[in-house]
Amino acid sequence: MRDSTVHIGLLLPEVLGTYGDTGNAQVLCQRLRWRGFDAEVVPVGLGEPVPSTLDLYLLGGGEDGAQALAAAHLRKYRRALTPEAVVFGVCAGLQVLGTRFRGLDGVDHDGLGLLDVTTEPGERRAVSELVATSSEILDNAPLTGFENHLGVSKLGAGSEPLGQVVRGTGNGDGTEGAVTDHIVGTYLHGPALARNPALADLLLTWTAGHPLPALELPEVDRLRGERLARRRRTP
């Protein structure tokens, strides 16, 4: 954090903002405010330069055309999103953070190369609740959200999965999402950081550079537990 206010960059919300993914920014802001920090969401629109001075960057989901447009724009400002930055991408955001993705028209597009991930269209769209067991980065905590994508993502040696699929499709090979350094991509919508507070706090811990005080939110924890239990029972 560069000063007393945490600046959360919301990248291209007008083209990468489907399924409520822009809500992830508000979740991070509120979790910081509950801990006594000042926080501000900084929208960065299409056609605007991406500042290198923000503390954390968020990318959401979008359709094929919007995704290609976003990737072309963000490649111009690739230097702002260094491997040292904290970046979180959902669905199309995950694919844009990867090295390459292919559209339904068969055209390949370069990603930002922050995740070692390539994505191609699958045979069937994944539309369902997605439940996964996280990797050790989150102490194997459960992850939950919903997915709506056709992409099949393959991880290279430079990225590790965010988790292993319990229910749903995820990357298409039994894994879900990708992590490299402080860059995280996932297929979880919901918004993901509302449904997975531990993931939100992991991003904030990386941003702060030190552990943050725990939050006692028993009602939130109870509702999350009930939702997870239902998702695991539902075929």
> Residues with catalytic annotation?
91, 189
215 with 132: CB under 8 angstroms? Answer: no
Alpha-carbon gap, residue 108 to 105, rounded angstroms: 9
Rounded (5°) CA angle 191-197-198: 130
What's phi and psi for 30, nearest 5 deg? Answer: -65, -40
> Is residue 191 reached through a cis peptide bond, with omega within 30 degrees of 0 on the bond before it?
yes
Structural tokens at position 188: 């979880």
Say what angle helices 23-34 and 197-208 make with each other, to 10 degrees. Answer: 70
* Residue 150 identity: L
